[in-house]
Amino acid sequence: MSTLQCPAKVNLFLAIRGKDASGYHEIETVFARVPELFDEIEIEPASDFSFHCESLPGQSNSVVQALRLLEAHTGRTFNYKITLTKNIPPRSGLGGASSDAAAILIYLNETEKLGLTQDELQALGAQIGMDVPFFLSGHEVALGTHYGEKITPLPSLPPNVKISIELTGHEISTPEAYERWDEFLAQHPDHTAPMDTSLLYNDFELITPECGPYSKTRHLCGSGGATFHIS
């Protein structure tokens, strides 16, 4: 049996740059891994596929989605017994589901000797969620553009910089956050986000008052109900 650790992430910078013709929001964001907080996947070969997760069971779980996507892509069947322990709260903006999916894609590609390239894995991962390519990239810090799925590596944070996460108790899904954003922008059409991605900034902080207030060191993790401190 193998045990996979699936780390959380925070968005050190997140600016919504507009909406394209397809209706998707284009963003510019800086991802940073937070390995101190992680989900855990136990996986082992089995005669039939089984999946267990107390908090998020069922076929809609990103772990199952990732496995089924690989099966469809390769024409193969992957029978494993998988147990997912969730430590990263759903709808927190911490990327737990995306991290879980990336871990399964990487594991099966290596274990089953599928030979999929990084580009192929990134394309598959983006079908599950736009944060998945960041976790697939292996980078500690990276710039995400387009919908967040186009990844460019950035230097790691200095070793003396620490990120601590605070759960607010509020759950906000990414679709809900973008709906709030569209309403905000309709009322504030002149809003302009900074272009300097070295800043601590998140557009979603403007539409999540229940998770505030924010300071120079305290910021929303992503689009959901968790914040982080920089020290």
- What amino acid positions are annotated as catalytic residues? 9, 131
Contact between residue 11 and residue 30 where contact means Cβ atoms under 8 Å apart: yes
Tell me the three state secondary structure of residue 121: helix
What does the angle CA 7 – CA 13 – CA 14 come to, to the nearest 5 degrees?
Answer: 95
| Sequence-ordered list of residues with C-beta below 8 angstroms from that of 198, at least 6 positions apart, any chain | 13
- Residue 228 tokens, joined: 């982080």
Q: Examine residue 213 and say whether the peptide bond preceding it is cis (omega within 30 degrees of 0).
A: yes
Distances in Å between the Cα of 13 and the Cα atoms of 140, 179, 218 are 15, 20, 12
